[in-house]
Each structure stands twice: as structure tokens, then as C-alpha cells.
Chain A
Amino acid sequence: KQEVTQIPAALSVPEGENLVLNCSFTDSAIYNLQWFRQDPGKGLTSLLLIQSSQREQTSGRLNASLDKSSGRSTLYIAASQPGDSATYLCAVSPVGSGNTGKLIFGQGTTLQVKP
């Protein structure tokens, strides 16, 4: 059974710091891995999607890497800003889910960037 784990559960950093969020998954048989952002009391916004054949994706100050064989992904945030404060979730799409598009989520890392 696929399990997704995110460490740490919470992180507080001063503004301007570069930071890394970690995600691990137990079964390397995945189609892709996604990183989402969730603001308090809100829905999820997709940040980056990495296909299983890719090693990384970049969007602005965000860079996500994927090492499928070791079951790990990292989300790197450069020059963090208070507006980056949110919960970040990673999710994998397991092989065998067919056309259902099912995702398995980690529990998230809650980031606070202090001005």
C-alpha cells in the first residue's frame, strides 16, 4: 500500500531564507508526483507536477525534484517571503490507478515565514 510522508510537519523560517520541504513515498511505481499549496481554510492550488520520467520542475522561486528509485521528492523555495506561508502537500499518482487519476496525499508541511 502506497504511503506518503512529509517531514517536517511544521517549519518556521525568517524571510529571505532558502528552504527545502521533504516528501517520501513507499512505492516507486508512480505516474507522477505533485506539490500543492493550501492556505488556511481554503482549497488546494497545484504548484508543480513532475512526471515519473522527469527529475525536476521549476516555477519561479520553486523547484521540485524527484528521485523515484529512492522514493523521495523535495520542494525548494528560494528567497522565502511571508506570502509563502501556507501548508504544502505532496501527492503521488500510483501506477494501477488507471484512468481514475487518484492521488495519495501526504499530511503536509505547514510553513511560516516571519518578516
Chain B
Amino acid sequence: SQTIHQWPATLVQPVGSPLSLECTVEGTSNPNLYWYRQAAGRGLQLLFYSVGIGQISSEVPQNLSASRPQDRQFILSSKKLLLSDSGFYLCASGQGYEQYFGPGTRLTVT
């Protein structure tokens, strides 16, 4: 089975600062990778997905970007954080129709 690692687990950043969240996957190769955001009391919103190295698709216009420098590494970034970027960020790995989720990163922008 797959194991998804995310770090950091929690992060408090001031408005206007940069962001880098990392996700790595074990136990599979060539997975589809996903970044979701979960705001308080709301469902999961798909932000980005990738079907291969260097292939990134954005689902919603926003202040964030994603990159996939290696097969099992997915990075979520921002040059300047906004208050509205606060939330719980989840990375997922999938093959076929099943997705496996990481433990998440709680981001608070102050």
C-alpha cells in the first residue's frame, strides 16, 4: 500500500511571506498526485493535480502554484501568502480510482 508523507504538520506564516509545502509518496510509481485545501467547516477543494513529472493542472485560479520535480514528490508553493490561504492542505496519491491521503498540513496565515 502507499504511504504519503507531508511536512510540516503545522505552519504559522505572516501575510506576504513565501510558502513551500512538500509531499512525498512511498510504495508506488508514476502515481497521479493531488493537492487539496479544506477550509474550516467545508469540504475538500481540489487545487492542483499532476499525472506525471512536470505536468501540473490547476483547478482554481489562486495565489498558489505546484510543481512535481520527481515522480513521487509534489510541492505546493506561494510567493506571497494571503490571509485567505489559511486552511488544511492535503496531498493525495492515486492510481485508477483510488486515492490515498497524507496526514495534512495546517497552515495559519497571520
A residues sitting closer than 8 Å to B (CB atoms) are 4, 31-32, 34, 36, 41-46, 49, 89, 91, 93, 99-108
Are A32 and B97 interface neighbours, CB within 8 A? Answer: yes
Closest to A31 in B: B97
Contact of B49 among A4, A93, A102 (CB under 8 A): A102
B46 and A102 contacting across the interface, CB-CB below 8 Å: yes
Q: In the complex, which of the residues B42, B90, B99, B104 contacts A101, with contact meaning CB atoms closer than 8 Å?
A: B99
Query: A100-B49, A101-B94, A108-B43 known; A43 and B102 CB under 8 Å?
Result: yes
10 contacts between A and B (CB under 8 A): A31-B97, A43-B101, A44-B99, A46-B99, A89-B43, A100-B51, A101-B32, A101-B34, A107-B43, A108-B43
* Cα(A43)–Cα(B41), bound, Å: 15
A86 to B64, CA, bound (A): 29
**Nearest chain B CB to A70 CB, angstrom units:** 21
Q: Is the CB of B97 within 8 A of A93?
A: yes
Binding site for A on B (CB under 8 A): 4, 32, 34, 41-44, 46, 49, 51, 57, 88, 90, 92, 94-104, 106
Enumerate the 5 nearest inter-chain pairs by beta-carbon distance, A residue then B residue, closest first.
Answer: A43-B101, A107-B43, A44-B101, A105-B44, A101-B94
B35 CB to nearest chain A CB (Å): 12
Contact B99 A43 (CB under 8 A): no
Note all chain A residues with C-beta closer than 8 A to B41: 107
Tell me the complex Cα distance, A28–B49, Å.
Answer: 23
CA distance A42 to B11 in the complex (A): 15
Whether the pair B97, A89 counts as a contact (CB closer than 8 A) is no
Q: Are B104 and A42 in contact (CB under 8 A)?
A: yes
The minimal Cβ–Cβ distance linking A64 to chain B, given in whole angstroms, is 15
Supposing A49-B97, A101-B32, A101-B96 touch, asked if A43 and B90 sit within 8 A by C-beta, the answer is yes
With A43-B101, A46-B100 as known contacts, state yes or no: A100 contacts B43, CB within 8 Å.
no
